[in-house]
Amino acid sequence: MQCCVCKAKPATVHLTQIVGEKMQKLDLCEECAKAKGVNDPASFAMADMMLGLGASQELDPSSGAVEVKCPRCGFSQADFKKSGRLGCPECYRTFAEGLGGLLKTMHKGTRHVGKAPEALRQTRDNVDRLKTLQKKLTKAIETEDFELAAQFRDEIKALGSAAPAKTR
């Protein structure tokens, strides 16, 4: 990913800023970030990763940014730092970006394996199968095996019409 200011160097600093109702994302290279007055990324990255949410959502308070809050329950990153617990199920989506790194340090993997509620199990299996089929399709096209590709295409079509919309 390129820096969105100089459009030359790779972006290493990612910012999410909420201004009014709108969310803005910025991807900056280190130099542009410094020039824009964002703190040295190394100084806040470590502590925040350990505590929970990533540097991506932390802004220099002097820049006047508004903290990210869960739209459903109003829980903020500061609340998480205080309690180590989240506010509601929706928080996992609100703070997804920062939580990714934390989950990696905490658990064996970052994707759930195991039991799922019966009602969702079929959808879940279908989503998995869809992903596999799409991969196979791409590969078949790459190797120019169009007969096989057509077969995968039909399977994906059949699955798509059978499965309801993704539950996520």
Partner 1 sequence: MKDIHAFLCSPAESTLRHGPHDRIVMSSRVRLARNLRDYAFPGWAKKPERVKILETILPAVSSLPEMADSFADGMDNLAALDKQLLVERHLISREHAAKSVGSGLVINRAETFSVMINEEDHLRMQALCPGFQTRAAWQAIDQLDSALEKKLNYAFDNELGYLTACPTNLGTGIRVSAMLHLPGLVLAEQINPIIQSVNKLGLAVRGLYGEGTEALGNVFQVSNQMTLGESETVIVERLEKVLSQIIEHEENARQTLLEKKPKVVFNHIGRAYGILANAHSISSKEAMNLLSLLRLGMDMELFPGAPRPLVDELFLTTQPAHLQKQISDKLTAEERDLIRADMVRARLKDLSRPVTK
Which residues here bind partner 1, judged by CB under 8 A? 52, 73, 75, 79, 83-89, 92, 99, 102-103, 106-120, 123-124, 127, 166-168
Task: CB nearer to partner 1: give 37 or 109.
Answer: 109
Per residue, what are the HEC states of the chain? CECCCCCCCECCEEEEEEECCEEEEEEECHHHHHHCCCCCHHHHHHHHHHHCCCHHHCCCHHHCCECCECCCCCCEHHHHHHHCCCCCCCHHHHCHHHHHHHHHHHCCCCCCCCCCCHHHHHHHHHHHHHHHHHHHHHHHHHCCCHHHHHHHHHHHHHHHHHCCCCCC
Q: Name the minimum Å distance from CB 22 to partner 1.
A: 25
| Nearest distance from C-beta of residue 92 to partner 1, angstroms | 6
Q: How far is the CB of 119 from partner 1 (least distance, A)?
A: 8
Q: Which is nearer to partner 1, 51 or 148 (CB)?
A: 51
- Residue 49 or 73: which CB sits closer to partner 1? 73
In whole angstroms, the minimum distance from the beta carbon of 71 to partner 1 comes to 13
Token digits for 127? Answer: 């989503």
CB of 86 to partner 1, least distance (A): 6
Q: Which is nearer to partner 1, 42 or 106 (CB)?
A: 106
Nearer to partner 1, 6 or 103 (CB): 103
Do residues 17 and 65 lie in contact, with contact meaning Cβ atoms separated by under 8 Å? yes
